[in-house]
Amino acid sequence: MADCLAAVRALPPRSGIVFRHYSTPARARHRLFRAVLRIARARRHVVLIAGKPIAGADGAHASARRGLGRGQPPVSLAVHNRRELDLAKRLGTPIIFISPAFATRSHAGTKPIGRAGFARLAGGFGGECIALGGMNAERFRALRIHGAHGWAAIDALSKKLEVRGR
């Protein structure tokens, strides 16, 4: 929990957070979400919830692989291929997370899409594209010319508590 909260504090003001924690027991997940939300509101972050909804989030993040859930279309959607990109477009999703851009532990064994794959997916989307997977500031600069509006991290936040972006 402390690593998660430290990562939220380390984000630049007005960043976005996708709160996942799928396997955290319900009560602990709620407590952690409330703690994240307090810090996020003070720093003017946007907080999207993935998985089971929790009141107070600014919207939903979804994955075609995990299911879209019910209710309003997601604010953001995980996109790994053309089929998922087409789904995001049909839903009118304004933000997509294109993943895995580069090799990463969170998609161990999955071939990364690299710059060319990122460019193909981002070029076919009319909204904001966020690069995810093996990201750092240098890689973001390389993808920015291919349509990346920002970048996100999972492992990098828990290990280094260092975030760079836009």
| 132 Cβ neighbours under 8 A, 6+ residues apart | 78, 97, 98, 99, 100, 101, 151, 152, 153, 154
| 95 Cβ neighbours under 8 A, 6+ residues apart | 75, 76, 77, 127, 128, 129, 130
The pLDDT-based confidence of 3 (bands split at 50, 70, 90) is confident
pLDDT digits (tens, 9 = 90+) for 52-68: 888 999 999 988 776 66
The pLDDT-based confidence of 72 (bands split at 50, 70, 90) is low
The C-alpha atoms of residue 157 and residue 101 are separated, in whole angstroms, by 17
Which two structure tokens, joined as six digits, stand for 13? 């003001």
Task: State the pTM of this model.
Answer: 0.85
Which two structure tokens, joined as six digits, stand for 153? 């991290």
CATH architecture of 2-160: Alpha-Beta Barrel (3.20)
Residue 107's pLDDT is 73
pLDDT digits (tens, 9 = 90+) for 99-156: 999 998 877 788 999 999 999 999 989 999 999 999 988 999 999 999 999 999 876 6
